[in-house]
Amino acid sequence: MSSDPTPDVAPISAEVPPNSAPEAESPAPPPPETTATEVSATEQSPTERPKVRLNPTVDPDQHKPVPYTSATAQEADKLTAEIAAEEAATGPDRHFAPPVSANRHVDPIEIPSKRDVSLDDEMEREIAEALASGEIPGAISAPVATAGSPNETPEPPVSEEDLEPGTRLKGTVQSIAAENVILDVGLRSSGCIPSSQFEGKLPELGAKLDVVVNNYNLAEGLILCSLPKATRSVSGWSEVQVGQIVDCMVTKTNKGGLEVTVNALRGFLPAGQVDYGFIANLDSYVGQKLRVKVTEVNPAKKNLVVSRRAFMEIERGEKRDEMWKTVAVGQTHVGVVKTIKEYGAFIDLGGLDGLLHVGEISWQRINHPSDILKEGQQVEVQIVGIDREKNKISLGMRQLTKNPWSDIEARYPVGSEVAGTVTRTSDFGAFVQLEEGIEGLIHISELEYRRVNRVTDVVKEGQEVRAKVLSVDLSKRRIALSLKALQARPESAPRKEDADLAPGGNVPYERKRKGPLKGGTTGGSGAGLFG
């Protein structure tokens, strides 16, 4: 196979002088062998231009540009554009030669490579449009973005006509008027909220708000919205939607809860949805106007169920989000005791719940939180710890009162005499309360000089006693007391002599041996000491 590719075009004859004899015709060379990468003109359709593909096994440096002819510059420009389009579709390694008439004499030129082609902006635009539309045969269409690809285009936002009542959107305040607040909700139309829903606290320009869609006003081109906890008026079953916030009037009570009216619609408020806790007597709610959330709607059965607790949860959530932004250790809050456990009490701070541990309630020892706290009681607490990852807050009450152990050594010096009340007894001693939050221990060995078997044999719970301070340990918060230190030590009885032990007089007592001593080394048995 020849190393130079032969274009499938008619050969161009050279000019011969008229007086010269023609050379003898040489036999025509055999046609070149074709490879898998070559395409002959006979295998192509009549409408396609002849194409020549380079043999990849041949050194690319041996290939030369395939010559072609052009009669005018306009045709050359047109051919240049076609070549650029073909190279853009199939790659720069293919060169195409246009058909050339055999009976026409033209000047040979070289096929310009891709880097030699200079196109104006209009031509480049036309080529790009042709490639995108697929009009050029064999052209590769523009890549189509698929999900997860880098060219992925986000889905356009839902249109205004597709918005349903109750849809939640995020908006930015654009303008504030006397009656309405206009928001940018990311759609062509703007959102509109009545200014009355802000209850006199209008937002600032640029503020981010969460809103709920009511409906789309096509005539004015506005999306009518409401705040999540704002009430909406309804006049019929067609205007009631689950999730709406409405005002209802309590008409009477029944076995399961409260009967209410929402404008002209009758509804039901279950007893468990009236408040957070259980309410035994619901008669106090009759005649009141409550703000509730619609939880169930069935126009066919005229069934409307509302919940006051759900609306309270919305308010609680807003307060909780605001409190997490400002809460800090050391702050003092007023809360309500929600529940009481053995290990402490949960306090509602008005959006956040905190745990008041039993050891943080008082400086004095308490057995159970219910000894001091009651459910529903209002208490003042201090934040002593915050765990934002677990959303936990630790509270304390005793931190708001003076620590009685701060100057305990000055108030109860060692050796001083104190008075107190026995609070409890144990096997090892008795605890005496000297003041609120301060207790001392009288060990069982410090009750009396004689041996005491049981603490209760000497002192009882509630008994008033006076004791002496033996020691004060501030780090362990312990005070050692003693009762016998304030008592006179009893005199010891004289030791009895042998004369005192003699019966009937002053005759000295003589010990008498009742029998011979056993053992010894003088025995004749030869058995040793104990033989």
List Cα–Cα distances, 228 to 167, 190, 193, 314, in angstroms.
Answer: 10, 18, 11, 8
Do 115 and 193 lie in a common domain? no
Do 263 and 333 lie in a common domain? no
For residue 463, the model assigns a pLDDT of 93
283 within 8 A of 250, measured Cβ to Cβ: no
Expressed in angstroms, the distance from the first to the final Cα of the chain is 133
For residue 408, the model assigns a pLDDT of 87
Do 46 and 128 lie in a common domain? yes
305 within 8 A of 288, measured Cβ to Cβ: no
User: Any alpha helices (H) in 302-373, and if so which ranges?
Assistant: 308-326
Specify if 154 maps to a domain.
no
CA distance 19 to 140: 56
Strands 190-194 and 222-226: parallel
For residue 525, the model assigns a pLDDT of 55
356 within 8 A of 397, measured Cβ to Cβ: yes
| Domain end marker among 313, 337, 367 | 313
For residue 24, the model assigns a pLDDT of 43
Do 272 and 331 lie in a common domain? no
Do 333 and 392 lie in a common domain? yes
Specify if 495 maps to a domain.
no
Please list the residues that pair with 94 across neighbouring strands. 53
For residue 9, the model assigns a pLDDT of 43
Specify if 157 maps to a domain.
no
Total domains in the fold of the chain: 5
Do 54 and 106 lie in a common domain? yes
Contacts of 475 (CB under 8 A, 6+ apart): none
Token pair listed for 448:
């009396």
DSSP E strands, 403-493: 417-425, 429-435, 438-443, 464-473, 478-482
Q: What are the φ and ψ backbone dihedral angles of 457, each rounded to 5 degrees?
A: -75, -20
Residue 474: give its domain's CATH number: 2.40.50.140
CA distance 267 to 260: 5
Do 218 and 269 lie in a common domain? no
Q: Pick from 359, 332, 335: which is nearest to 437 by CA? A: 359
Do 47 and 120 lie in a common domain? yes
179 within 8 A of 224, measured Cβ to Cβ: no
440 within 8 A of 469, measured Cβ to Cβ: yes
CA distance 38 to 57: 12
| Domain end marker among 256, 286, 313 | 313
Contacts of 351 (CB under 8 A, 6+ apart): 316, 317, 318, 319, 320, 322, 323
Strands 180-184 and 190-194: antiparallel
| Domain end marker among 400, 421, 456 | 400
Please list the residues that pair with 357 across neighbouring strands. 344
For residue 420, the model assigns a pLDDT of 93
Specify if 144 maps to a domain.
no
Specify if 11 maps to a domain.
no
Do 309 and 367 lie in a common domain? no
Do 427 and 364 lie in a common domain? no
454 within 8 A of 428, measured Cβ to Cβ: no
Query: DSSP letter string over 316-375?
Result: HHHHHHHHHHH--TT-EEEEEEEEE-SSEEEEE-SS-EEEEEGGGT-SS--S-GGGT--T
- Token pair 């590769």 in the structure block, residue: 140
For residue 21, the model assigns a pLDDT of 42
Specify if 503 maps to a domain.
no
Specify if 504 maps to a domain.
no
Specify if 138 maps to a domain.
no
Do 417 and 481 lie in a common domain? yes
- Token pair 């009545």 in the structure block, residue: 194
Contacts of 347 (CB under 8 A, 6+ apart): 335, 336, 337, 338, 353, 354, 355, 356, 379, 381, 395
Do 249 and 218 lie in a common domain? no
Q: State whether residue 172 is helix, strand or coil.
A: strand
| Tens of each residue's pLDDT in the chain, 531 residues | 444 444 444 444 444 444 444 444 444 455 544 444 344 444 444 444 444 444 444 444 444 444 444 445 666 677 777 777 776 665 554 444 444 444 445 455 555 544 444 456 666 666 666 555 544 444 443 333 333 333 443 444 567 777 877 788 889 999 888 888 999 988 888 899 888 888 778 888 888 888 888 788 888 888 888 887 777 777 788 878 888 888 899 999 988 899 999 988 899 999 999 988 788 889 999 999 998 999 999 988 889 999 999 888 888 888 888 888 888 999 999 999 989 999 999 998 887 889 999 989 988 878 899 989 999 899 999 999 999 888 899 999 999 988 888 888 888 999 999 999 999 999 999 999 998 888 999 999 999 999 999 999 999 999 999 999 999 998 888 999 999 999 888 877 666 665 565 565 566 666 677 777 776 565 555 555 554
What residue numbers bound the domain in which 219 lies?
163-226
